[in-house]
Amino acid sequence: MSHPQVGIESTQQEDRLFAPPPEFCAKAWIQSREQYDRMYRESIDRPEEFWGKIASELKWFKTWDRVLEWKLPDAKWFVGGKTNISYNCLDAQIDAGRGDKTAILWEGEPMAQGTPPEVRHISYKQLREDVCRLANGLRKLGVKRGDRVTIYMPMVPEAAVAMLACARLGAAHSVIFGGFSSQAIVDRVEDAESSIVITADGGFRRGQVVALKNNVDEALIKTSRVKTVVVLKRTGQPINMTAGRDVWWNDVIAGQPATCDAEQMDAEDLLFVLYTSGSTGKPKGIIHTTGGYMVGTYLTSRYVFDLHDSDVFWCTADVGWITGHSYVVYGPLSNGATTVMYEGAPNYPDFSRFWSIIERHKITTFYTAPTAIRAFMRAGREFVDEHDLSSLRLLGSVGEPINPEAWIWYQQVIGHSRCPIVDTWWQTETGSIMITPLPGVTPTKPGSATLPFFGIDPAVVDRDGVEQPANAGGLLVVRKPWPAMLRGIFRDQDRYFRQYWTDVRGFYFTGDGARRDQDGYFWIMGRVDDVLNVAGHRLGTAEIESALVSHDAVAEAAVVGMPHEMKGQGVAAFVTLRSGFRPSEALKKELLEAVVKQIGAIARPDQIRFTDALPKTRSGKIMRRLLKELASGGEIRGDTTTLEDMNVIARLSTADEG
Ligand code: WTA
């Protein structure tokens, strides 16, 4: 892997500093820099003591023998401990007196003129009953400890119920984002060797119905692995039910008891697989285990979002992403919080929807992505100003670097300059938040994720692992293991080692470039590998290229990122055609469709350029750096001495733009 950005100086200058409001500090879990420094030192110097103490705040059927066993790249946390995360998210909360408290507060998307949307308040007691009924039903269908269950659902409470039911049984879930296409289901079901899919007839999104069950049907033509499909009725749209394979959710839970003992899981038993894009080939199944993930998401939820019993917490992520796993479901529920789920699009029926949700449910803590903030900014503040947002006390951002302009808008227009902002850096692989302000402690700088969380030891280094001086760009690594870290790539431990532990020997390499400023604050500069971050979603250039090349007309394709006002990064594709094919608008459309069909609408290229050759090195490697410069509308300025055919550049510059 090469890292073209390493050594490039960051030109961003941002001197504004915002201290946490005193009224916030007064009630916060962590209230002073001294307290943070003391706890941080302890967590780094004596991690076993620190994490052991935190883990004891949760329920274990059997205490661990050792907090950590570390032999690079394999970490084992809470070795010998037995627990269950579903038990901690439900039973432990009910035992603590939260049985009647709302666990999940859900709002559906449809909203006819003048009528209020559908809202459900599901108490901890009710949620446990729902989870147990489904767990019992799944068990009857043959699901057992150690299996993988695929979940392909809309944003309805039953998505969380399904995850918690799997965890209760000790079966790992593999959640697939509902916006992915049928091909994505095929690949993931095959890789995870999953014989059961939980889905819904459809879901509501931006006023349309999404044909989830149809996508599953289409996928199951291409794989024979799946024997059972559980179907939740959500939209009522007509669907096909295949006899002997498809069963309605309601029939699965009918007559099932409302109690179900939680399996006593080993701390290192698999909790879930979640597929994410890497720099090469097919998405990789990131694996997370039970104990460490539980402790990591529990503690970060508590301290980063300063969760108290009175909070109503809304993380807008879909459960199909890691953010939904960690901060819609497991983190908030293991803290006994009220977690909000909204089914639909932020701009349905218009751009005031999010703000009306905050007003209606008196949301206190709001966690969303920069791409959404930029879209709201562009729509205009009049959508915001018509709503009472005085319940808010804390704002969060995740998924990509937030540009200072969006940060300031978020702070002033949404937070009324009253709410701290936590810009949280982390990844599917890290499981929980890694670099972040603590809202009662850290003075924030717009655009910086600021300081490491407890127990996290990140650094900006060069390829040899040497820490860079203040403000010099480099590779972002983590030098010590942490509880919620990935334990590997499903059935591919070699790839796990190669992908994360060989670029910078001895350290976990994140794939991100960063710099650390004179105050020790981290500034994330974005990916240095071939991964794009489009609207906060991770996409591998290789996946999009392979979708393009699957079209008969395409000989070769190269995909690069380009700056995009809303999405942060857009997708630019350079395509060469096989002989006998000619560029045309119709072909362009077909190629766009091929990408949407194989990956999903989020991967649709913003630009397709036909060209008769791609710039390559003498060894045949596509020179993406040149393509990036072209796609960004720039000229080629960089070094071209390794380019094989100099004429390609001239021809590319005049390539057909789309
Ligand atoms: C990027 C999402 C800057 C980063 C939780 C990382 C961020 C990738 C931030 C992981 C942030 C996430 N500031 N960049 N606050 N948060 N990223 O796996 O490039 O979908 O490596 O996890 O998103 O994306 P993933």
- Mean pLDDT, residues 50-65: 98
What are phi and psi for residue 93, nearest 5 degrees? -75, -40
pLDDT band, residue 9 (cuts 50/70/90): very low
- Report all structural domains of the chain as residue ranges with CATH numbers, in order of start: 8-116+123-345+454-514 (3.40.50.12780), 531-653 (3.30.300.30)
Tell me the C-alpha distance between 48 and 42, whole Å. 10
- Mean pLDDT, residues 451-468: 97
Number of the ligand 1 atom closest to the C-alpha atom of 424: 15
pLDDT band, residue 540 (cuts 50/70/90): confident
> pLDDT, tens digit, for every residue of 167-209?
999 999 999 999 999 999 999 999 999 999 999 999 999 999 9
Residue whose C-alpha is closest to residue 369's, from 206, 566, 544: 566
Which tokens go with 36? 């943070």
- Mean pLDDT, residues 231-236: 98
Tell me the C-alpha distance between 11 and 168, whole Å. 49
Give percent of the chain with pLDDT exceeding 90.
Answer: 83
Among protein residues, the one whose CA lies closest to atom 10 of ligand 1: 427
Among protein residues, the one whose CA lies closest to atom 25 of ligand 1: 427
Determine the distance separating the centroid of ligand 1 and the alpha carbon of 536, expressed in angstroms. 7
- Give the chain's mean pLDDT: 93
Which residue type is seen at 594? A
pLDDT band, residue 527 (cuts 50/70/90): confident
> pLDDT, tens digit, for every residue of 323-353?
999 999 999 999 999 999 999 999 999 999 9
Determine the distance separating the centroid of ligand 1 and the alpha carbon of 276, expressed in angstroms. 12
Residue 322 near residue 431 (C-beta atoms within 8 A): yes
- Mean pLDDT, residues 551-560: 92
CA geometry: angle 20, 26, 28, nearest 5 deg: 75
What are phi and psi for residue 227, nearest 5 degrees? -105, -25
Number of the ligand 1 atom closest to the C-alpha atom of 423: 15
Residue 540 near residue 530 (C-beta atoms within 8 A): yes
H or E element, residue 282: none
Determine the distance separating the centroid of ligand 1 and the alpha carbon of 407, expressed in angstroms. 16
Residue whose C-alpha is closest to residue 272's, from 161, 389, 192, 362: 192
pLDDT above 50 for 1: no
Which tokens go with 491? 């059935």
Residue whose C-alpha is closest to residue 541's, from 304, 316, 277, 292: 277
pLDDT computed for residue 642 by the predictor: 62
> pLDDT, tens digit, for every residue of 583-630?
999 999 999 999 999 899 999 999 999 998 888 877 677 888 889 888
pLDDT computed for residue 44 by the predictor: 98
Determine the distance separating the centroid of ligand 1 and the alpha carbon of 103, expressed in angstroms. 27
- SS3 (DSSP) at 265: strand
pLDDT above 80 for 636: no
Residues at CB less than 6 angstroms from ligand 1: 276, 321-323, 398-401, 423-428, 449, 510-512, 524, 526-527, 533, 538
pLDDT computed for residue 10 by the predictor: 52
pLDDT band, residue 100 (cuts 50/70/90): very high
Half-sphere exposure of 170 (CA within 13 A, CB side): 16
- Mean pLDDT, residues 154-171: 98
Q: Which residue has the tokens 């950590």?
A: 68
pLDDT above 90 for 490: yes
pLDDT above 50 for 658: no
DSSP symbols for 531-551: EEEETTEEEEHHHHHHHHHTS
- Mean pLDDT, residues 526-551: 88
- Mean pLDDT, residues 207-228: 97
Tell me the C-alpha to C-alpha distance, in Å, between residue 91 and each of 88, 126, 262: 6, 11, 9
Give percent of the chain with pLDDT exceeding 70.
Answer: 94
Please say whether the dihedral angle defined by the alpha carbons of residues 55, 285, 192 and 240, taken in this order, is positive or negative. positive
pLDDT above 70 for 646: no
Which tokens go with 154? 């809309």
Number of the ligand 1 atom closest to the C-alpha atom of 436: 15
Residue 64 near residue 255 (C-beta atoms within 8 A): no
pLDDT above 80 for 373: yes
Mutate to test the pocket of ligand 1, among 177, 325, 426, 456 (most ligand atoms within 8 A of CB): 426
- SS3 (DSSP) at 453: coil
> pLDDT, tens digit, for every residue of 263-316?
999 999 999 999 998 776 678 999 999 999 999 999 999 999 999 999 999 999
What are phi and psi for residue 174, nearest 5 degrees? -130, 100
Tell me the C-alpha distance between 508 and 491, whole Å. 19
DSSP symbols for 569-612: EEEEEEEEEPTT----HHHHHHHHHHHHHHTBGGG--SEEEE-S
Tell me the C-alpha distance between 482 and 76, whole Å. 10
pLDDT above 90 for 645: no
Determine the distance separating the centroid of ligand 1 and the alpha carbon of 323, expressed in angstroms. 10
pLDDT above 90 for 247: yes
Which residue type is seen at 617? T
Determine the distance separating the centroid of ligand 1 and the alpha carbon of 403, expressed in angstroms. 14
Please say whether the dihedral angle defined by the alpha carbons of residues 83, 86, 89 and 95, taken in this order, is positive or negative. negative
Residue whose C-alpha is closest to residue 404's, from 423, 384, 380: 423
pLDDT computed for residue 654 by the predictor: 59
- Mean pLDDT, residues 217-239: 98
